[in-house]
Amino acid sequence: MRVYIWSDGAAMPNPGPAGAGYVVVGDGVRLLRSEALGDATNNAAEYMAVRNALQAAADEGATSAYVRMDSSVVVDHLTGTSRARKERLIQLKEEVQVQEDRYPEGVTYARIPREQNGVADELAKDGARASKALSADRRR
Give pLDDT < 70 ranges for the chain: 137-140
Instruction: Give the dihedral of Cα atoms 106, 109, 26, 8; nearest 10 deg.
Output: 140
Q: pTM of the prediction?
A: 0.96
How many residues make up the chain in this entry? 140
Give tens-digit pLDDT for 64-98.
999 999 999 999 999 999 999 999 999 999 999 99
- Please, what's the b/e burial string for 12-48 (b: 16 or more CB within 10 A of its CB; e: otherwise)? beeebbbbbbbbbebeebebebbbbbeebbbbbbbbb
Max CA pair span of the chain: 49
CA atoms within 13 A on the CB side of 80: 2
pLDDT at res. 137: 64
Question: What gap in Å lies between CA 42 and CA 10, rounded to an integer?
Answer: 5
Domain 2-139 CATH assignment equals 3.30.420.10: yes
Identify the CA nearest to 48 among candidates 77, 24, 18, 25.
18
pLDDT at res. 57: 98
